[in-house]
């Protein structure tokens, strides 16, 4: 067949379709979703000549492999990883031509967590509420990739400014998250508030697209009362009963009942998408690094 589509040869641990998300629907209980590392998603789209909001693949740790039915230009970025086309090494972080029927194999990340794969024309699954993103919390958008699935591709732009290679930031060896006080900071003791911004934490292996969970000192509350559910924002640092902070990421719930001690500034969240389990984490007052 010669239609613009690709078949999934190896879906990997978790590979989803993501664009820049569906903002503006929190009042309906729908999270923003979208790529956890938006700069990386924009960058691979730029490399193949797409608009910055075209849908891409987001892989988790061990990559994926796909077979296009027509020749396509692709770019792989985000977490550094080996890339092969038809079994031969291909560049990471640069546009690559993949012949019809050849297998593009995005292998396990050597550092970081999430790779992004852009195809010229973008992944053309049907949009839901204006976005093609897979939302793991609400179930909106296409399901995660499965072996044997076939996904459509859009038509590439006839002419665009070619970009051969662009610099990409390395995944963090230490995750530094700038924070401002949250709406429920007064639910915690002064010692707990100081602990958050002076003690070291580590990324938990239980982290996912909903939230980055941490391991480290527990934060003590002033009171053990319960809050009624209230609105939650991207980057909210919520503290569940075990006292370990959780940073809400793209698929976070729009409401929650655990107190929010702080909010991470938006520009630091892309690095959180690439922080592997056991990566050191520091919360610092916004404006200080």
User: From CA 234, how far away is CA 251, in angstroms rounded?
Assistant: 9
Task: Check whether residue 16 and residue 147 sit in a common domain.
Answer: yes
In this model, does residue 288 exceed pLDDT 80? no
Q: Give domain status of residue 167, yes or no.
A: no
What is residue 172's predicted lDDT score, i.e. its pLDDT?
Answer: 87
Q: How confident is the model at residue 89 (pLDDT cuts 50, 70, 90)?
A: very high
Task: Check whether residue 203 and residue 114 sit in a common domain.
Answer: no
What is residue 9's predicted lDDT score, i.e. its pLDDT?
Answer: 98
What is residue 163's predicted lDDT score, i.e. its pLDDT?
Answer: 65
Q: How confident is the model at residue 95 (pLDDT cuts 50, 70, 90)?
A: very high
Per-residue pLDDT tens digits for 235-263:
999 999 999 999 999 999 999 999 999 99
Task: Check whether residue 139 and residue 185 sit in a common domain.
Answer: no
What is residue 170's predicted lDDT score, i.e. its pLDDT?
Answer: 81
Token readout for 287 is 């404006």
What is residue 168's predicted lDDT score, i.e. its pLDDT?
Answer: 74
In this model, does residue 138 exceed pLDDT 70? yes
Task: For strands 280-285 and 175-181, give the pairing.
Answer: parallel
Task: Check whether residue 24 and residue 144 sit in a common domain.
Answer: yes
Task: Check whether residue 38 and residue 118 sit in a common domain.
Answer: yes
Per-residue pLDDT tens digits for 168-201:
778 889 999 999 999 999 999 999 999 999 999 9
Indicate the range of 119-128, 158-167, 218-227, 279-288 predicted with least confidence. 158-167
For the chain, give the mean pLDDT. Answer: 93
What is residue 16's predicted lDDT score, i.e. its pLDDT?
Answer: 98
What is residue 91's predicted lDDT score, i.e. its pLDDT?
Answer: 94
Domain holding 77, by residue range, is 5-152
- What 3-state DSSP class applies to 201? strand
Task: Check whether residue 10 and residue 148 sit in a common domain.
Answer: yes
Q: Give domain status of residue 158, yes or no.
A: no
Write the DSSP symbol of residue 221. B
Where does the chain show beta strands of DSSP type E?
5-10, 16-18, 56-58, 64-68, 72-78, 83-85, 88-90, 96-98, 104-106, 115-119, 150-152, 175-181, 201-203, 211-215, 230-231, 236-238, 246-248, 255-256, 260-264, 280-285
Q: Which residue stretches of the chain are H helix? A: 38-48, 190-198, 269-273
Task: Check whether residue 122 and residue 17 sit in a common domain.
Answer: yes
Task: Check whether residue 222 and residue 87 sit in a common domain.
Answer: no
User: From CA 177, how far away is CA 234, in angstroms rounded?
Assistant: 13
Give the total number of structural domains in the chain: 2
Write down the pTM of the prediction.
0.93
CB atoms near residue 215 (< 10 Å): 15
Q: Mean pLDDT over residues 4-32, rounded?
A: 93
Q: What percent of the chain has pLDDT over 70?
A: 96
Task: Check whether residue 29 and residue 143 sit in a common domain.
Answer: yes
Per-residue pLDDT tens digits for 268-287:
999 999 999 999 999 999 87
Backbone dihedral region for residue 148 (phi beyond 0: left; psi -120 to 50: alpha; all else: beta): left
Task: Check whether residue 102 and residue 236 sit in a common domain.
Answer: no
In this model, does residue 2 exceed pLDDT 80? no
Cα separation values, 240 from 90, 128, 260, Å: 44, 31, 9
Q: How confident is the model at residue 12 (pLDDT cuts 50, 70, 90)?
A: very high
């Amino acid at each position: 067949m010669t239609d613009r589509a690709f078949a999934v040869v190896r879906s990997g641990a978790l590979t989803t379709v993501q664009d820049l998300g569906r903002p503006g629907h929190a009042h309906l209980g729908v999270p923003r979703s979208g790529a956890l590392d938006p700069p990386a998603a924009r960058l691979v789209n730029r490399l193949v000549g797409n608009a910055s909001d075209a849908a891409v693949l987001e892989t988790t740790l061990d990559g994926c492999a796909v077979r296009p039915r027509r020749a396509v230009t692709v770019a792989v970025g985000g977490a550094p990883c080996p890339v092969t086309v038809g079994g031969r090494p291909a560049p990471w972080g640069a546009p690559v031509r993949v012949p019809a029927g050849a297998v593009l194999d995005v292998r396990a990340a050597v550092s970081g967590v999430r790779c992004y794969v852009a195809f010229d024309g973008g992944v053309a699954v049907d949009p839901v509420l204006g976005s093609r993103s897979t939302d793991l919390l609400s179930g909106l958008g296409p399901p995660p990739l499965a072996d044997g699935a076939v996904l459509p591709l859009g038509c590439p732009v006839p002419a665009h400014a070619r970009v051969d290679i662009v610099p990409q930031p390395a995944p963090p060896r230490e995750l530094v998250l700038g924070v401002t006080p949250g709406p429920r900071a007064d639910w915690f003791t002064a010692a707990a508030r100081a602990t958050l911004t002076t003690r070291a934490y580590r990324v938990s292996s239980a982290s996912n697209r909903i939230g980055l969970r941490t391991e480290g000192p527990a934060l003590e509350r002033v009171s053990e009362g319960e809050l009624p559910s209230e609105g939650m924002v991207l980057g909210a640092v919520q503290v569940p009963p075990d006292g370990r902070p959780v940073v809400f990421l793209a698929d976070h719930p729009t409401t929650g009942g655990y107190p929010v001690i702080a909010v991470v500034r938006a520009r630091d969240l892309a690095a959180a998408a690439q922080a592997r389990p056991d990566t050191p984490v520091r919360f610092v007052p916004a404006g200080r690094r």
